[in-house]
Structure 1
Amino acid sequence: MAYIRKRGNKWTYQVEWLDPVTGKRKTKSKGGFTRKSDARIEAEELEREVREGSYIEENNITLNEFADEWLIFYAKNSKISSHRGRTKELKHFRRYFSKMKLSDITRKHYQAFLNDLHEKGYAHNTLDGIHTTGRMLFKKALEYNLIKTNPSEFAKIPKRIETVEELEQKDETIKFLEKNELITFLKTAKEKGLDRDFIMFLTLAYGGLRVGEMLALKWNDLNFNNETIRITKTYYNPNNNTKAYQLLTPKTKGSIRTIKMDKQVMSEFKKYLNYQKELKIALKDQYNNFGFVFAKEINNPGYPDFIKTVENRMRRLLKLSGIEKNVTPHSFRHTHTSLLIEAGVGTKEIQQRLGHGDINTTMNIYAHITKDMEQKASHKFSEFMRGVLD
């Protein structure tokens, strides 16, 4: 039964019913309506939900409280790196909604939240991550019957329309080394590199591995008879604490793969394995034998090195080799892809070799690199034919 009353200038409704489970009388009231008809419509909707058994008694739990609970649940079913990301993204929700009840957050509130972050200049990828966390959070709240509707359900991430000038100046090229540059770089690494430099960059160039996958390699991942490398894990150490590293499962299921390696590269691995055995004998108990291929030789020898160290060493070798390009260790994956394309390898084979979970990732890189190749071919032809049409 519903009662509509006027209190001051506003209308209030109260609905009473018997709980079918407990048999106890329950009531719900809500005020603040400007018009009597609005109060009546909401009261009738509540009565309908009670009759059909679809009424959910919304909880008083706040977003902050539920976020804490959800993170505990999420940690049990996700990678540590993903958990760190969700924790970081939830800070935006905590700040914006503060101690607001979950049940009070409407679709209008949620969209305003995304709009506000957009206006403050957050990148689209950042907003996409925040929105993904929001959808997961409120979906779980809906499953627990803490809310009636999911406020993130129809939300849209605002898109910033780039100006013509910005589009013209935008650099969409994928950074990679040309074949002659790669040869120069590897030659420099062999002649002037520090310990492990040559074999590390040779692995990245010839295998197309992610840096974390390379640093996680253990000797039992190498099969010298079949000349293959098995990738099953990745190195994770966000705080650069030598002993606090973690070995996580790869980025995607497709990242777990076995790749064929060049005979000469495997020969270099054998040389390095013998060198490492001699080092272990020399260092005796000082060497922490965890079986890593690319292990430190000083300062906690045997532990895997930092990704930052690989980046620093690459910058040093780029300078020594005279290559003036803004490339990173990840660029070796693109370099590897460009050489595979040049060799006539198909996109499906490239996807499997690089461990892309989605063929679209491979196709996107393929399209960028082939476009770059076409432009260079056109330029070379123009240079070759210079003067013919004068």
Structure 2
Amino acid sequence: MEEKSTLFKDFALEWLKIYSHSRDVKPGTVRVRNHEIDKLMPYFAYLKLTDITLKKYQDTLNDLKEKYANNTLDGIHRTGRMIFRKAVEMEIVIKDPTEFAVIKKEKKAIEELEKAEVPRYLEKNELALFLETAAFKGLDMDYLVFLILSYTGMRVGELVSLKWNDIDFPENTVRIIKTYYNPTNNTVKYQLVPPKTKGSVRRIVIDDIVIEALKRHKETQEKVKRRIGNTYYNKDFIFANSCKYPGYPILIKTVENRMKRLLKIAKLNQELTPHSLRHTHTSLLAEAKVGLEEIMDRLGHTEDRTTRNIYLHVTKELKKEASQKFGQLMRSLQ
């Protein structure tokens, strides 16, 4: 590409092609980067890379700030920075216009800072009711699906990609080394990709109740395989369809729809999602006085503000309770 004449739209797409073939870049991440490029196109598409200055780039960020949330804007800026760094590296431009650009963060009001974002999750008794509803009124595999999500805190994509060789029955562990990717929700066009981060690769110790439920499910699945025969897509998936497309892993959308149905039957908060069970797992581990580092390790997090907020919220309540108990003890001595 010539330095003087390369248009942003051409180089951005060229960069995306290079980026998508990079090691460890998942299809979902490429899709996100493509969306972020789309947000920059109205401003830069037909400009030469050499004509995009720091002022033009900063004005673009300022304008985008009026339209998008901070997280979205951070992503757009990150993509912009990668594109121009590559252009410098390839000597298409001499100067990187994004280098000193900033996203102006507004100072949060004290009230907002005091009110840490704690996502919704199920309390102990609500989780018991939800699992009971799944056991007695759930559809095929519902109880096992939601039992595992609740008892492990794994992501739903990690769950639907599980294979039988990921379960170590003698050791009571489940291995997480992959996740499920299927943006079109076409059952047969799924992909198995590496987990969200390197820290997401992990082995989780699971409760006997989960192991027993898995054993029962394995027996049922073997009967289905024998009944269906050669048309069964036998790739060892635990959560496999048994009717249409038998053997193929179930869709994430199916898990979401099934959860909504059960929440409605149980008269629980229907805004909760399968990911809320991950937050529920965090809150119950915190209540059981498991340390934050151990919880992060179990969830496959290296750092996560949401998990930290839930942990601090639960432990703060426990500390209050401890203080009240101490006060009661001292009063009883008077």
Superposed pair shares fold, TM > 0.5: yes
Q: What is aligned with 1:294?
A: 239
Q: Distance in 2 between matches of 1:89 and 1:359?
A: 23
Flag the 1:67–1:220 CA change in 2: closer, same or farther, 3 A.
same
Equivalent of residue 105 in structure 1, options 41, 49, 52: 52
Matched, 1:87 2:34: yes
What is the count of residue pairs matched by the alignment? 322
Q: Distance in 2 between matches of 1:200 and 1:69?
A: 42
| Percent identity over paired residues | 50
Q: CA deviation at 1:366?
A: 1.6
Matched, 1:365 2:310: yes
Stretches of structure 1 lacking an aligned partner (at least 5 in a row): 1-56, 385-390
Q: 1:151-195 CA deviation, whole Å, 9 max, x = no partner?
A: 111111133456789x49978222111111111111111011000
Q: What is aligned with 2:99?
A: 153
Give the structure with higher Rg (CA): 1
Matched, 1:306 2:251: yes
Equivalent of residue 246 in structure 1, options 191, 195, 204: 191
Q: What is aligned with 2:79?
A: 133
Q: CA deviation at 1:227?
A: 0.8
Q: 1:281-305 CA deviation, whole Å, 9 max, x = no partner?
A: 1111232111100111121111111
**Normalized against structure 1, the TM-score is what?**
0.77
Q: Contact 1:173–1:372 (CA<8 Å) still a contact in 2? A: no
> SS where residue 330 of structure 1 aligns?
helix
Flag the 1:314–1:102 CA change in 2: closer, same or farther, 3 A.
same
**Normalized against structure 2, the TM-score is what?**
0.90
Q: 1:208-244 CA deviation, whole Å, 9 max, x = no partner?
A: 1000000010001001011100000001111101111
Aligned pairs for 1:1-390 (under 5 A) are 58-77=3-22, 78-119=25-66, 121-160=67-106, 167=112, 172-324=117-269, 326-358=271-303, 362-371=307-316
Flag the 1:373–1:60 CA change in 2: closer, same or farther, 3 A.
farther
> SS where residue 340 of structure 1 aligns?
helix
- Supply the AA of the counterpart residue of 1:126: T
Q: 1:289-337 CA deviation, whole Å, 9 max, x = no partner?
A: 1110011112111111111111111111111112235311001111111
Q: CA deviation at 1:140?
A: 0.6
CA RMSD of aligned residues (A): 2.3
**Larger RCO: Structure 1 or Structure 2 (Cα < 8 Å, ≥ 6 residues apart)?**
2
> SS where residue 274 of structure 2 aligns?
coil
Q: What is aligned with 2:332?
A: none
Q: What is aligned with 1:26?
A: none
- Supply the AA of the counterpart residue of 2:12: A
> SS where residue 175 of structure 2 aligns?
strand
Greater helix proportion? 2
